[in-house]
C-alpha cells in the first residue's frame, strides 16, 4: 500500500490565526470577563469544544452579545452592521477576519459605492458570503453557486463586477468566468479565491487521479472540505469523507481499503494537525491487518511528520516517556531499544513535569539525532529542544509577519535591557521597550511573563537573533484607550488617573491613554513649593476635567476638592459676629495673624488689639499665645477674615508703677521751667 498525503493539508493561515487568538484570549482572561465567539470559530467540533471548555460562549448574532464582552470574529468575517453593533455595545473586538476576505470586503464596498452591481460566487447562507453581502445594498447583490444560476439573471452586465468566496471551487468559478467574459469587462472580474484554497484543490485533484482510495479529512459543515470531497470524488470513485481516526477505523473494518490500494489523503482548512496525524498513525498501525505486502508509505505533512515506521536520522517521531534519571529522559519509540533525550533539554520548558510525564506515560514528539550500533546494543539519541526550536522559530516568524503578540518569560538582565525566553529561544528587549516611560530598575522585571511584539528576526551568520517590544503593545492599547476617551470626554467628568511625571509647574496624569496636566495651583489649597510635596510618580488619584482642546490634544485637570478648602462653607461655620478662639502664628507691624483652624488664619489689625494705642502688636502679643476675638468681616473671594480682640477682651499693655509716680513730678518741673522762660523773654528785648 502506498499512502500519499497532500502537503497543503489542515489549518490555513486565517483559521490558524483565529484559533491561536482564541487560545490566547483564554490564557489572558480576566475575572468577570465574558469571552464570546460570534458564530462557531471554525467547522471543527473538537476545537470548538476545547474553546467552549476554556470559557467561550457561542453567539450567532451581535444583537445578543452582552455589553462589554470580549468578542472574537472568525476568519470568515462578518457584515459591517454586526461590527457596528459590537462597537455600540462597548465590546472589545478581536477581529481575526482573514486578510483575503477583508480584501473582498473592500472591493465589494468600493464598487457598490461607485454604483456597480455585485455578483458573488459562493454558498448561499455561508458566513463569509453573508458578511460580503452586508457591504452593499441588498438590491445590488446576487449570489450564485453554479454556472446554471447565470441563466435568466436580470442584471445590467455593463455595470457589474464579479467576486468569489475565498473557498469556492476554482473549477466552477473558471466555468462561470468563461460564460461572463464577453459580458463583463476583464478588469471587473476579480478572482478572489484564496491561493491556498486553489493550490489545496489542485493538489487534491492530482493525488485523487492517481489513487485507488481518497480520504478527505474534515467536517461536513465545512464549505472547503465539501468542495475537496466533490473534487476528489469526481476523480476517484472510492472517496471517503471522514471526521477523524474513528471514521477511518470504520472504513478499515468494512474492508473498503485493500492491500494493493494506493491511498491519498487531504484535509480541509478547518482540520487541526493533531487529527491528521492521528489518521496517518491509525493507517500505519493497521497496515499489517489491511495488507500482507507492506510497502514504504510516502507521507508528507509539512515539516512535522515522518510516518516511515523504521527509525532514521533526522526523522520526527512520536514516543512514550517511560523513565528518567539524572542525565536522560527515556522514550519508547517502537524500536528494540529505547531512545533517550538529554534531561537538560527540558529546562527551557519550566511547565513540563518530568515525574508526572513518566507516571502518565506521556506522549512526546522528538527528532532522531543519531543512531549508533555497538556491542552493548543500539544507542538512539533523541532531541526535544531541536524540534521545539524549529517549531518555536516558525511561531516567532509567524508572529513577526502577522504582528501578533506572544507571551514570554524574562529570564535575565543585561546592561541595557532584558532577555526573555520563548520555548527555548532568547528574545532581547531593550530597556526603552519595556514600558512607556523610563525604566529605573531592570531587575524587577526578572521572572515576569509579559506579552511582546516581535520587532526583528535576524538569521544572518547562521545565528538566530530576535528582538521584541512590550512598549509597542502598551502604545497600541494606549492609543485605543485614547480614542475612546476623546469620544466621551466632557468638562467636570471624573477619572481615576496615574501620576506619570512631576515637573516644577504641576503633575502629568494618565487618565486612560491620554495625559492631562494638573497645574501646581490645583494640587493643594495651601501654598506649596513643588508638586512632589503632595504627589509621587505612580500614585493613583481622582481628578476631574476642567477644560480640554481636541485639536491640540490638551487636557487641564483639577485635583483639589472644594470640600477640602479651608474657606468651604466658611460663612456657616464661622459667621460674622461669632466669638472664636485662636493662636497667634505671626506678628507684623500692622497686626497679628491668628490661626482659627488648620490652614485658616484671620487678621487682627493693630488697632483692634488693645483699648489703648499700640506702637506694634508685639507690645502685648507673642507667637503661640491663645486669644479670644470676635469675627468682624469675611471676604471669601479674597480669602480674608478680620477679627477684633478688643471687642471681646482687649489686651492692654502693663504700665510700670515707678514710671507712673515719676511722671507727675517730671510734668511739674517742665511746667515751672516753661513759665520761667516766658517771664524772661521780654527782658531780652
Cα 258 from Cα 472, distance rounded (Å): 57
Q: Which of 13-27, 108-122, 241-255 has the highest mean pLDDT?
A: 108-122
Of 41-45, 363-367, 448-452, 550-554, the least confident: 41-45
* Residue closest to 389 by CA, chosen among 459, 338, 449: 459
Question: Which residues are known to be catalytic?
Answer: 128
Q: Tell me: the pLDDT tens digits for 440-499? A: 889 989 989 999 999 998 876 567 889 999 998 988 888 888 888 898 889 989 999 999
What average pLDDT does range 127-131 have in this prediction? 90
Amino acid 288: pLDDT: 44
Q: Are residues 329 and 346 in contact, defined by beta-carbon separation less than 8 angstroms?
A: yes
CATH 2.40.50.140 fits 570-644, yes or no: yes
Q: How confident is the model at residue 184 (pLDDT cuts 50, 70, 90)?
A: confident
**Counts of helices then strands in the chain (DSSP H, E):** 16, 31
* Residue closest to 371 by CA, chosen among 328, 329, 313: 313
What average pLDDT does range 62-77 have in this prediction? 92
Please report, for residues 25, 412, 433, 469, the alpha-carbon distance to residue 429 in angstroms, rounded to integers and kept in the order given: 24, 10, 6, 6
Cell 478588469 -> residue: 187
In the CATH scheme, what architecture does the domain 410-474 have? Answer: Beta Barrel (2.40)
Torsion of Cα atoms, 66 then 67 then 72 then 76, to 10°: 80
Three cell numbers at 271? 482540520
Three-state secondary structure along 179-204?
A: HHCCCCCHHHECCCCCHHHHHHHHHH
Other beta carbons within 10 Å of 504? 9
CATH code reported for the domain at 316-383: 2.40.50.140
Cα 280 from Cα 290, distance rounded (Å): 14
Of 288-302, 498-512, 630-644, the least confident: 288-302
The distance of Cα 61 from the centroid of its chain, to the nearest Å, equals: 24
Other beta carbons within 10 Å of 228? 32
Q: Are residues 498 and 483 in contact, defined by beta-carbon separation less than 8 angstroms?
A: no
Q: 362-391 burial, b if ≥16 CB within 10 A, otherwise e?
A: eebebbbeebeeeeeeeebbbbbbbbbbee
Q: How confident is the model at residue 309 (pLDDT cuts 50, 70, 90)?
A: very low
Cell 468542495 -> residue: 227
* Residue closest to 111 by CA, chosen among 161, 50, 158, 149: 161
- On the question of a common fold for 316-383 and 489-560, the answer reads yes
C-alpha angle with apex 184: 182 to 189, nearest 5 degrees? Answer: 115
Tell me which of 641 and 221 has the higher pLDDT. 641
Roughly what angle, to the nearest 10 degrees, separates helices 273-285 and 245-253? Answer: 30
Please report, for residues 547, 661, 668, 671, 682, the alpha-carbon distance to residue 674 in angstroms, rounded to integers and kept in the order given: 77, 21, 10, 5, 14
Cα 545 from Cα 522, distance rounded (Å): 12
Q: Are residues 183 and 157 in contact, defined by beta-carbon separation less than 8 angstroms?
A: yes
* Parallel, antiparallel or unpaired: strands 117-121 and 160-164: parallel
Q: Are residues 510 and 497 in contact, defined by beta-carbon separation less than 8 angstroms?
A: yes
Cα 198 from Cα 188, distance rounded (Å): 20
Please report, for residues 235, 248, 257, 656, the alpha-carbon distance to residue 252 in angstroms, rounded to integers and kept in the order given: 21, 6, 6, 128
C-alpha angle with apex 383: 377 to 389, nearest 5 degrees? Answer: 170
Task: List for the chain the helix, strand, coil content (%; round to 5).
Answer: 35, 30, 35
CATH code reported for the domain at 99-193: 3.40.1010.20
What average pLDDT does range 588-617 have in this prediction? 92
Q: Tell me: the pLDDT tens digits for 367-422? A: 888 888 765 667 889 988 877 777 788 889 889 988 999 999 998 998 889 999 88
Cα 427 from Cα 408, distance rounded (Å): 8
Amino acid 422: pLDDT: 87
Please report, for residues 141, 162, 186, 311, 601, the alpha-carbon distance to residue 112 in angstroms, rounded to integers and kept in the order given: 9, 12, 18, 59, 74
Tell me which of 8 and 168 has the higher pLDDT. 168
User: Which sign, positive or negative, has the C-alpha torsion 590, 596, 597, 600?
Assistant: negative
Please report, for residues 38, 199, 212, 298, the alpha-carbon distance to residue 7 in angstroms, rounded to integers and kept in the order given: 31, 10, 19, 11
Three cell numbers at 178? 468563461
CATH code reported for the domain at 489-560: 2.40.50.140
How long a stretch of residues is the chain?
Answer: 685
Three cell numbers at 593? 495673624
Percent of the chain with pLDDT over 70: 90
Residues whose CB is less than 8 angstroms from the CB of residue 582 and which lie 6 or more positions away in sequence, other chains included:
594, 595, 596, 602, 626, 627, 629, 643
- Strand partners of residue 604: 592, 643
Tell me which of 658 and 48 has the higher pLDDT. 48
Residues whose CB is less than 8 angstroms from the CB of residue 133 and which lie 6 or more positions away in sequence, other chains included:
79, 120, 141, 143
Q: Are residues 211 and 236 in contact, defined by beta-carbon separation less than 8 angstroms?
A: yes
Cell 487529527 -> residue: 275
Q: Are residues 346 and 362 in contact, defined by beta-carbon separation less than 8 angstroms?
A: no
Check pLDDT > 90 for residue 661: no
Q: Tell me: the pLDDT tens digits for 221-237? A: 787 788 889 999 999 99
Domain ranges in the chain are 99-193, 316-383, 410-474, 489-560, 570-644, 656-685
Cell 485614547 -> residue: 482
What average pLDDT does range 97-103 have in this prediction? 87
Q: Which of 252-266, 274-288, 669-683 has the highest mean pLDDT?
A: 252-266
Cα 351 from Cα 360, distance rounded (Å): 15
* Parallel, antiparallel or unpaired: strands 506-510 and 515-519: antiparallel
Cell 486669644 -> residue: 627
Check pLDDT > 70 for residue 279: yes
Amino acid 286: pLDDT: 65
Maximum Cα–Cα distance across the chain = 169
User: Which sign, positive or negative, has the C-alpha torsion 61, 65, 68, 72?
Assistant: negative
Amino acid 3: pLDDT: 80
DSSP 8-class letter at 463: -
* Residue closest to 502 by CA, chosen among 527, 530, 473, 483: 530
Please report, for residues 262, 411, 417, 628, the alpha-carbon distance to residue 465 in angstroms, rounded to integers and kept in the order given: 45, 16, 15, 79
Three-state secondary structure along 345-404?
A: HHCCCCCCCHHHHHHHCCEEEEEEEEEEEECCEEEEEEECHHHHHHHHHHHHHHHHHHCC
DSSP 8-class letter at 616: -
Amino acid at each position: 500500500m502506498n499512502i500519499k498525503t497532500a502537503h497543503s493539508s489542515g489549518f490555513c493561515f486565517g483559521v490558524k490565526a483565529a484559533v491561536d487568538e482564541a487560545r490566547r484570549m483564554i490564557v489572558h482572561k480576566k475575572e468577570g470577563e465574558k469571552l464570546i465567539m460570534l458564530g462557531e470559530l471554525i467547522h471543527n467540533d473538537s476545537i470548538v469544544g476545547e474553546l467552549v471548555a476554556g470559557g467561550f460562549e457561542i453567539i450567532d448574532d451581535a444583537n445578543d452579545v452582552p455589553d462589554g464582552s470580549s468578542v472574537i470574529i472568525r476568519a470568515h468575517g462578518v457584515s459591517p452592521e454586526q461590527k457596528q453593533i459590537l462597537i455600540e455595545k462597548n465590546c472589545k473586538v478581536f477581529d481575526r477576519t482573514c486578510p483575503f476576505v477583508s480584501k473582498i470586503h473592500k472591493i465589494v464596498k468600493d464598487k457598490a459605492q461607485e454604483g456597480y452591481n455585485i455578483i458573488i460566487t459562493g454558498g448561499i447562507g455561508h458566513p463569509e458570503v453573508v458578511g460580503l453581502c452586508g457591504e452593499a445594498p441588498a438590491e445590488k447583490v446576487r449570489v450564485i453557486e453554479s454556472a446554471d444560476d447565470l441563466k435568466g439573471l436580470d442584471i445590467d452586465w455593463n455595470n457589474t463586477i464579479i467576486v468569489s468566496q475565498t473557498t469556492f471551487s476554482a473549477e466552477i468559478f473558471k466555468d462561470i468566468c468563461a460564460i461572463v467574459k464577453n459580458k463583463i469587462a476583464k478588469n471587473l472580474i476579480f478572482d478572489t479565491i484564496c491561493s491556498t484554497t486553489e493550490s489545496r484543490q489542485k493538489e487534491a485533484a492530482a493525488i485523487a487521479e492517481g489513487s485507488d482510495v481518497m480520504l478527505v479529512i474534515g467536517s461536513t459543515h465545512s464549505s472547503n472540505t465539501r468542495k475537496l470531497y466533490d473534487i476528489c470524488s469526481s476523480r476517484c470513485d472510492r472517496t471517503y469523507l471522514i471526521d477523524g481516526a474513528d471514521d477511518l477505523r470504520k472504513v478499515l473494518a468494512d474492508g473498503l481499503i485493500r492491500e494493493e490500494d494506493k491511498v491519498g489523503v487531504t484535509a480541509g482548512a478547518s482540520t487541526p494537525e493533531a487529527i491528521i496525524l492521528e489518521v496517518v498513525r491509525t493507517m500505519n498501525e493497521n497496515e499489517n491487518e489491511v495488507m500482507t505486502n507492506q510497502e514504504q508509505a510516502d507521507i508528507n505533512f509539512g515539516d512535522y511528520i515522518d510516518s516511515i515506521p523504521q527509525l532514521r536520522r533526522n526523522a520526527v517521531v512520536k514516543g512514550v516517556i517511560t523513565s528518567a534519571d539524572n542525565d536522560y529522559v527515556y522514550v519508547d519509540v517502537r524500536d528494540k531499544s529505547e531512545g533517550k533525550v538529554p534531561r537538560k533539554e527540558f529546562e527551557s520548558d519550566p511547565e513540563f513535569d518530568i515525574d508526572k510525564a513518566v507516571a502518565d506515560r506521556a506522549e512526546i514528539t522528538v527528532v532522531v539525532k543519531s543512531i549508533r550500533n555497538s556491542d552493548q546494543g543500539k544507542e538512539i539519541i533523541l532531541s526535544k529542544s531541536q524540534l521545539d526550536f524549529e517549531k518555536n522559530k516558525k511561531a516567532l516568524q509567524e508572529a513577526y509577519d502577522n504582528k501578533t503578540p506572544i507571551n514570554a518569560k524574562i529570564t535575565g538582565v543585561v546592561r541595557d535591557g532584558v532577555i526573555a525566553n520563548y520555548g527555548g529561544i532568547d528574545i532581547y528587549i531593550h530597556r526603552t521597550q519595556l514600558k512607556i516611560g523610563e525604566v529605573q530598575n531592570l531587575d524587577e522585571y526578572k521572572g515576569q511573563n509579559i506579552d511582546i511584539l516581535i520587532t526583528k528576526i535576524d538569521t544572518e551568520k547562521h545565528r538566530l537573533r530576535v528582538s521584541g517590544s512590550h512598549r509597542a503593545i502598551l502604545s497600541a492599547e494606549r492609543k485605543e484607550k485614547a480614542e475612546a476617551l476623546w469620544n466621551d470626554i466632557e468638562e467636570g467628568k471624573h477619572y481615576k488617573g496615574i501620576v506619570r511625571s512631576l515637573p516644577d509647574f504641576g503633575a502629568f496624569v494618565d487618565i486612560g491613554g491620554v495625559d492631562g496636566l494638573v497645574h501646581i495651583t490645583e494640587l493643594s489649597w495651601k501654598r506649596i513649593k513643588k508638586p512632589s510635596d503632595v504627589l509621587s510618580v505612580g500614585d493613583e488619584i481622582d481628578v476631574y476635567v476642567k477644560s480640554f482642546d481636541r485639536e491640540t490634544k490638551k487636557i487641564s485637570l483639577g485635583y483639589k476638592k472644594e470640600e477640602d478648602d479651608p474657606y468651604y462653607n466658611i460663612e456657616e461655620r464661622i459667621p460674622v459676629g461669632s466669638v472664636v478662639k485662636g493662636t497667634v502664628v505671626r506678628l507684623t507691624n500692622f497686626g497679628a495673624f491668628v490661626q482659627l483652624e488648620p490652614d485658616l488664619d484671620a487678621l487682627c489689625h493693630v488697632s483692634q488689639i488693645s483699648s489703648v494705642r499700640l506702637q506694634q502688636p508685639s507690645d502685648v502679643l507673642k507667637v503661640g499665645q491663645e486669644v479670644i476675638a470676635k469675627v468682624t468681616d469675611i471676604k471669601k473671594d479674597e480669602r480674608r477674615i478680620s477679627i477684633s480682640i478688643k471687642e471681646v477682651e482687649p489686651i492692654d499693655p502693663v504700665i510700670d508703677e515707678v514710671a507712673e509716680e515719676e511722671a507727675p513730678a517730671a510734668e511739674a518741673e517742665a511746667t515751672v521751667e516753661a513759665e520761667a522762660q516766658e517771664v524772661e523773654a521780654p527782658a531780652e528785648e
